[in-house]
Structure 1
Amino acid sequence: MPGKRITDHQVHKYKQHRNKLSQAASAAKAGISERSARRIEDAQSLPSQRPARNWRTREDPLSSVWDSEVVPLLQADARLNAVTLLEELQRRYPGRWDTSVLRTLQRRIRLWRSKFGCEREVYFAQEHPPGRQGLSDFTVADDLNVEIDGAVFAHRLYQFALAYSGWRHVTVIDSGESFMALSTGLQAALWALGGVPEEHRTDSLSAAFNNLAEQEALTQRYADLCSHYGLRATRCNPGQSNENGSIESRNNSLKTALDQALRLRGSRSFDARSDYETFVDTIVQRMNARAAKFLVTERAMLKPLPVRRTAEFEEIPARVSKYAVFTLKGVLYSVPSQLIGHRLMVRQYAQHVECWLGGQCVLKLPRARPAQGQRVGRAIDYRHLVGALKRKPGAFARWVLRDAAFPRAVYRQTWERLAAQRPEREACKTMVGLLVLAADGHEAQLAQELEQLIELDQLPDLNALTQLLAPPKGDVPQVVVTLPTLAVYDDLFEVAL
């Protein structure tokens, strides 16, 4: 190969094979060409014993411009590449050089940069003692194309990993990189691990660090969280993801493992979110099995957990309006009418909200978020309001929250057909009656009946559906109880004697 010198070892190997093989075969085994083999046989010395070559095998095409024009351009800006410089030389000297000189120019530039170029960034491999560092990061998992109950599930994965052993814990997050998501995922990981590392490292999360401050500062909530577990909080420099490489590389391996497992599963659709979370936990446990040996060593170096977890919720006061709703973080929630006028203390968790009144939890609701393109989200449970609608069915037609109250799409379709083909008053009474049936525990069965009626192009008959869904009446058998006489007990007493 050009620029690669034949070594003394190759010469010895060639001569060793030449005693038994042809010149071509011996050259091939020694890794040299036949032409070099012929020169070796004619030579009287080894390559190391010959003087260094000080002449060129061909004329240097860049000799007239390299020192005078190319080098000054590189000194002015070392990032200029060979293509740019060749095009500049062609403009200055039309017709003198063609593209065949490009490779020569590239090699000369590379050699020049190795001697006179600017300093390049150096990466320093780090040693990670056991029990010293745990790392956290969020990664977007939309590329997995997971579906929950037929709908695309846009989500992130929060991952906590130990730098020494590689043990990891993953939490599915369907919100942004908020403090609640960080707190929930971190605490779940620490309690699953059974110990606390010395340091917790993240990137520049706005939920953990005040990035607008002139000096690095923790947010108060994150500082309290780290203080509760005795963690020392650190972060990498903004834009330097390589400084957090122990977790960045694991994000890629995690998503690759999940993608392969989904391919092997043959489907990316899950009936419920809990099924997908169980699937993720299974894959993570398999990956942690590889780190079991190192985890034994690291667990012995971890600090003990505190007596209890710290708060994994955010308390926000909210007043229930006369419409039996309250607003929390851009989402409208419905509540039973008994809570109208009360001021609730709402605890917002990562996946649910709790309504507290007078020190008691009076209501627990799944957490909702505004849909894409929606300014205010709506989480309206028809079961909270169906009693009031039963007393005022006429209000259903122009109810502002009507579309958000339908439990399933088939109920909305049924209302649209009723509103188009029946008088408004009758349509409202029928629809409210259907919602009453659904609230009585027949939501799924009634939905099936409504789908069949839509296929048959028929409108629902409330009385017929009520009778159909009514529990069967069982015949109560008539039981006749015959009381024995007291004399029978006297006979039993005599037998016992």
Structure 2
Amino acid sequence: MVSRVELFALIRRDARVEGLSVRALADRHGVHRRTVRQALGSAVPPPRKTPARSSPVTGPLREAMDEILRADLDAPRKQRHTAHRIWERLVDEHDAEIAYRTVSKYVARRRPEILLEARNRAGVMDGFVPQTHLPGQDAEVDFAEVWVNVGGVDTKCFLFTLRMSFSGKAIHRVYSSQGQEAFFAGHVAAFTELGGVPAGEIRYDNLSSAVRRVCFGRSRVETEKWVLFKSAYGVTSFYCMPGKEGAHEKGGVEGEGGRFRRRWFVPVPKIADISGLAGINDRLAAADHAEDARHIDQRTATIGQDFALEAPLLAALPVDEFDIALTTTPRVDRYARITVRQALYSVPARLIGQTVRAKLDAEELVVLHGSAEVARHPRLTTKGGQHLVLDHYLEVLAGKPGALRGATALVHARQKGWFTATHDAFWAAARAKHGDQAGTRLLIEVLLLHRRMAHAHVIAGIRVTLEAGSVSPDVVAIEARKHAAAAGSTAGDVEVEPPGPQRSRSKVVSLPERRRDSDLPPDSRPAPSVAAYDQLLSNTPKKGNAS
């Protein structure tokens, strides 16, 4: 079939070569004379007219749907009409007999048109303006959500990103929250990795970690600690406009978070517990170095090559280190716990009723009493969450052994693998031999050994003791020392004999068993006697004759 362009070319050629009339050309090509005149007038066929089709169902409802879509422009983003909700309103309010698919197709086509009309009326035109950034000057900061498998459970974490505007060099760190401590820790890690501080402005969203109140325009009331941090590091902040209006003002880091997440967090990383985020951050530091070989857009130089130009232009790091930790002075409750950021942490029971000092950073809580550290916990991000250490309650449990079975700290110790099946075996054997209370106290004595001996050595001591049929904590301590000596290490303040020749693991035996051993030489010593002391009895004055 000949296209309209080819048809017009044939008509024009026949007219030019053979000089045929309009009627003759129309007869030869089987077209209307109007088409011939169009071909002779222009080599380009005129566009076909799209016939106006009537919409008997949609037509009367178009204005109603347009009003709903226009009203959505001023409605909250999460409370705007879906196509299904518009269809429901048409049916309820207009008694319309219209299919949902018809409404859906109309809304999908009409919604962007109405948005464009509104922007045109406001004098706003969509598009992007290329930007030029000076080396070593500007940067952008943002948090992005990432998922990490923690102990078999997918957990939401937060990826901190600081991106240099000139080179595109970005530093990434992942934290369990996006609180102020993580905000500061990300900056410190980024500045340390870059070797300096951006000399110009750093662009931010209106994060609560930095901004206490958003005022008119770009005026902000900043948090006191953020002001101190900025002063210490010489940071100049620039706050973007809230919402979508200001998203383009730091578009580089907005896209960087998603790109980096797809590249380095797929598949989802797996860690045993939240403390494993430190290992992920080590891998992210290596990933940041690998990214130096990447090209951005159509640049001929790599990120690393561009950053080499701006690294000498960064402002110097401060001489004194800024303490980013949140310091509080909570009081220890009767359950030997303190509350920090709506989470509960245990401390040694001897501190019940006293005030301690807690320092909370991005991933860890350190508890001090005076100048001595008394507890260390991973940071919790769940409101009302608890992290309890069994060792903190041993003195209390020694007086209340019945409380051990249902202790929350014991549940946590089992989950973390600190309280093992070997402990359970010792506990069961001790209760079977001495009863519940006495057997539990023996277990607590064994648990106290962990304070001055390595965990593996105590476990080894328990196993040897059980094999010998004993449940004595003293035997466990002796066997733990032997295991430490065989391993060539010391256990706390316990003295260990110098390592001697390699020996097999010793067996705990009783004295009667040793006497029956056939390979021992016969004992020729006389049986012990107390006859020599009988003379003392004859010299003892009788009762009543004492002078």
- State the secondary structure of the residue aligned to 1:177: coil
Partner of 2:401: 396
Is residue 239 from structure 1 mapped to residue 243 from structure 2 by the alignment?
Answer: yes
Is residue 292 from structure 1 mapped to residue 304 from structure 2 by the alignment?
Answer: yes
Deviations 1:347-380 (A, max 9, x none): 322233445566xx311643444575x7252342
Partner of 1:278: 282
Shift of 1:249: 0.8
Deviations 1:160-218 (A, max 9, x none): 111221111122212x2211111111122112212222112221211111246676321
Is residue 228 from structure 1 mapped to residue 228 from structure 2 by the alignment?
Answer: no
Shift of 1:72: 6.1
CA contact (8 A) 1:414 1:450 kept: no
The 2-side partners of 1:249 and 1:115 are apart by 24
RMSD: 5.1
- State the secondary structure of the residue aligned to 2:265: helix
The 2-side partners of 1:79 and 1:113 are apart by 7
CA contact (8 A) 1:394 1:428 kept: no
Is residue 366 from structure 1 mapped to residue 376 from structure 2 by the alignment?
Answer: yes
Is residue 408 from structure 1 mapped to residue 418 from structure 2 by the alignment?
Answer: yes
Partner of 1:352: 364
Number of residue-to-residue matches in the alignment:
422
Deviations 1:50-92 (A, max 9, x none): 19878966753239999x968866875676999989x99xx99
Report the more deviating stretch, 302-311 or 51-60.
Answer: 51-60
CA contact (8 A) 1:417 1:459 kept: no
Name which of 53, 63, 68 aligns with 1:61: 53
Show the 5 A alignment for 1:14-413. Answer: 36-44=5-13, 50=42, 59-62=51-54, 119=120, 122-130=126-134, 131-142=136-147, 145-147=148-150, 154-174=156-176, 176-197=177-198, 198-211=200-213, 216-240=220-244, 241-260=247-266, 268-269=270-271, 272-290=276-294, 291-319=303-331, 326-329=338-341, 330-335=343-348, 337=350, 343-355=355-367, 361-363=371-373, 365-370=375-380, 372=382, 375=384, 377-380=386-389, 382=391, 386=394, 388=395, 393-398=398-403, 402-403=409-410, 406=413, 408-410=418-420, 413=424
For structure 2, which runs of at least 5 residues remain unmatched after alignment?
Answer: 17-37, 72-81, 295-302, 486-495, 501-547
- State the secondary structure of the residue aligned to 1:397: helix
TM-score (norm 1): 0.66
Shift of 1:295: 0.8
Name which of 428, 436, 447 aligns with 2:440: 428
TM-score (norm 2): 0.61
For structure 1, which runs of at least 5 residues remain unmatched after alignment?
Answer: 1-23, 25-32, 478-497
Amino acid at match of 1:195: G
Deviations 1:22-51 (A, max 9, x none): xx9xxxxxxxx6564344223348979619
Shift of 1:328: 3.5
Partner of 1:5: none
Shift of 1:445: 4.9
Distance 1:237 1:113, change over 3 A: closer
The 1-side partners of 2:55 and 2:499 are apart by 113
The 1-side partners of 2:83 and 2:364 are apart by 59
* Identity value in percent: 16
The 2-side partners of 1:419 and 1:344 are apart by 37
- State the secondary structure of the residue aligned to 1:43: helix
Report the more deviating stretch, 128-137 or 155-164.
Answer: 128-137
For the pair shown, which has the larger CA radius of gyration, 1 or 2? 2
Partner of 1:444: 456
Amino acid at match of 1:362: A
